[in-house]
Amino acid sequence: MDRGFIAAMPVGGPGTPRSRNPFPDEVARALADEANLQQLAEGYDPHDRGLRDMWETIIVTGRRASEVIQLRLDCIGRYGGLPLLWHDQTKVGNLNAAVRIPDRLLHRLEERRRKTLTHFADHHAGRPPITAERAHLALFPPHILNPDGLRALSYTWFHTGFRNWLADLDLGGHYVAHQARHTLATRLLRHGATLTHIRRYLGHISDRMAEHYVHLTQSDLENVLQHVWVAGPGTAHPGDLLTSDTTPLTREQAQALAIDLSRRSTPAEGGFCTFQPVVDGGACPFNLGCHNCDKFVLSGADLLYWRRKREQWLLAERAPDDATADYLHRHFEPTARAIDGLEKALAGLGLLDDALALDLRKPQDYFHRIWSTAFRATDLANAGKDEQSEYSDACAAEDTEPEQDVA
C-alpha cells in the first residue's frame, strides 16, 4: 500500500474532537422549540419514521441514542398508574430497565406505536401482528427490506437527519445528541438529586461514571444545592416537624420547604448565623451568644456536634437533688427538641446516614448537601411536644387498659 495513503489517515484517540459538555441554555431551548421540532420532522423525516419521536425521547429521558433507536413496540405502558419506558441498557448489561416518563411522552410514543402497527398491517394484507410477532417488533422500523418489522432504524440514519437539522439551525457550535444526557444530569443535580440518584436513573455502574455527566463549577454549587435549615434552640419552636405524627418527612415534603439562605448567613459554632448585620460583616450585638439566639440555625453537618453536646447532659442524671435535675432538663429541653427535629428532617430527605458519617466540619464540606441542609422552626411543627404528648397518652392507655389473659 502506498505510504502516502497511510500517512493521510485521520488521527484518532484523545485528539479527536468530542463535545462532552451540556447544551448551553440557548441551544437547549432551540433544540426543544416546537417550531424547530416540526422542522426536524417535516424536513428531515418526510416518510415519518419517527425522527422527532426519537429526539424528544432522548431529551426527556436522557437515554443513549442507541437505546432509544432500538426500542421495542411494547416498551411503554402504565404500571400502578405511572407511565414507564422499558428499554435495554446494553452498555451496562441491564436488558430490562424501566424509567418514569411524563404523560406527554407516553402519548407521543403510543401514537408512534399505532403508526408502526399500521405499517405492519399494510405489509401483511391488513393483518395485525400475532402475539409472538408483536413481542419482537421494533418501535422504529425501516419500511424497506424489513417486512417483519424486526429490524430497527440505524444510528447512521438518525445521526444524518439530526446533524443536518443542527446545521440548518445554525447554532454556532459543534453539538451532538449525547449532550442531551449531560444536560439532563446537570439539571437533575440542580434540582436536588444526588449522584446516586443520577447514576441509577441514567444507568451507570458507579458514582464516578455519573460524575462525568455533572458539569458544575464550585461557584455554582451554592446556587444548586438545597438549603433547608432548622432553627436553633434559642427560637420559640426549635426542631419542629412538618407532620404531627412521628414518621419521617417525605422527600416531597422536605423539598417543599427548601429555601436558599446561602447568601444571607455566615458560619458559626455548631450552625449558621442569619442576622443580616453580622452576615454583612458587622459585629454581633448579642455577644456571640449563638446557642440562645433566635437568629441561629442548625445544619445537617452539625448533627454530630449536637449529639456530642447531648451526651454531656448526662450530668443532669447525677444532680444532687430533684430540683437541680429538673432545672437542667428544662435548660436542655429546647436543644433536645431541635436535635430531634433535625434528625427527622434529615431522615425525610434520605440524608441522615450521610450526616452521621460526616465527622467534624472541614472547609471542603461547605459545599456538601449535608452542610447545607437544615429546617426553619417557623416551617416545622413542634416535634418534641408531639412526641411527649403521644408518649404520655400511650402510658396513660397502658395504665387504664385491663390486663388480658394471654393463656
Distance CA 139, CA 72 (A): 5
Q: Where are the domains of the chain?
A: 17-216, 223-396
pLDDT in tens, the chain (407 residues): 566 665 555 555 555 455 568 898 899 999 999 999 999 999 999 999 999 999 999 999 999 999 999 999 999 999 888 899 999 887 777 778 888 899 999 999 999 999 999 999 998 899 999 999 998 999 999 988 888 899 999 999 999 999 999 999 999 888 999 999 988 888 887 666 666 777 778 876 666 666 666 654 333 333 332 333 555 666 666 655 333 333 444 544 444 443 344 446 777 777 778 787 887 778 888 888 887 787 888 777 777 788 777 776 666 666 778 788 777 777 777 888 888 888 877 777 666 776 776 655 444 444 455 555 666 655 555 555 565 566 666 656 555 544 444 33
List, for residues 96-119, the tens digit of each pLDDT value.
888 889 999 999 999 999 999 999
Distance CA 369, CA 21 (A): 23
Which SS3 state, helix, strand or coil, does residue 98 take? strand
CATH of 17-216, one of 1.10.1740.10, 3.10.20.580, 3.40.190.10, 1.10.443.10: 1.10.443.10
List, for residues 324-348, the tens digit of each pLDDT value.
877 777 777 788 888 888 887 777 7
- pTM of the entire predicted model: 0.53
SS (H, E, C) 376-392: CHHHCECHHHHHHHHHH
Q: What is the DSSP letter of 95?
A: E
